Structure 1
């Protein structure tokens, strides 16, 4: 798809817009529908669109697979640490009121940080699922097996 000028122009325009909308959903999720899960899916979809247009090798140069694994772990750790911070400060798990002196500010800060952890985790996991599908397809083709031909043979047998 790298040779299609229309797709390149549309992707260069669409990818930043998708990421900007993901940021909006991420940080506006406390006040309206949305939040970390939806923003994570949007960020992952922007990267997947990038991979579709520019290729997997280029996509993995932008965000290497080991970084994606690290981001998945980082998001879970952020969620857990913010939740446990309330316990260590005398509250309950995911109780944000002990975090700051002002209850409303503590609640907003806690929710934003927890949703950030969710967003990072979801984006990384969706990207990893996509990578697993792509790598399995590449391994199948490298082994000389054509999955489409195998499906056709299976359909003929039924």
Structure 2
């Protein structure tokens, strides 16, 4: 197998030769995603929550982007979908708060969501807020990675970077 000189080739071409790393990444990304969803889904009951789960989910996508390239990640998940998820998560969070106000409580007063059983309302409200936060945090982290990788890929050899 000839690895040759890779300085003149496109960015990330050295990573395409790392077969073991690519296989391990493909095998671990689904488990990281499942764990991230678990942390989000059970965040109101134990350690974790939307922020931590969102970061774990983003770590899976960022790992994929690091191993297979940011362009491949952009191809798999277009930036428009990432932006829509970011907005949807924030909208879900705000909607829960406004629904609480609509039912006569204060912003994020979860007990107002089900007035006949305040405990059920609190569980519902906290879960929905955790889902919104997780979706937003994941989308923001992936967007930051994609923006940094885009900036890095535009710097040519010999140019100075900040």
Q: TM-score range by the shorter chain?
A: 0.7 to 0.9
Q: Report what 2:38 is aligned to.
A: 24
Q: Report what 2:67 is aligned to.
A: 53
Q: Which runs of at least 4 in structure 1 moved beyond 2 Å after TM superposition?
A: none
Q: Report what 2:95 is aligned to.
A: 81
Distance 1:24 1:60 in 2: 25
Q: How many residues align?
A: 147
Q: Report what 2:112 is aligned to.
A: 98
Matches within 5 A, 1:109-120: 109-120=124-135
Q: Deviations over 1:55-105 (max 9, x none)?
A: 222111111111111111111111001011000011110011121232111
The structure that is helix-richer by fraction is 1
Matches within 5 A, 1:64-79: 64-79=78-93
Unmatched 5+ stretches in structure 1: 152-158
Q: What TM-score does the superposition give when structure 1 sets the normalisation length?
A: 0.87
SS in 2 for 1:97: helix
Distance 1:57 1:134 in 2: 9
Q: Deviations over 1:8-31 (max 9, x none)?
A: 221122101111110110011111
SS in 1 for 2:26: helix
Unmatched 5+ stretches in structure 2: 1-14
Distance 2:50 2:89 in 1: 10
CA-atom RMSD, angstroms? 1.6
Offset of 1:146 from its aligned partner? 5.0
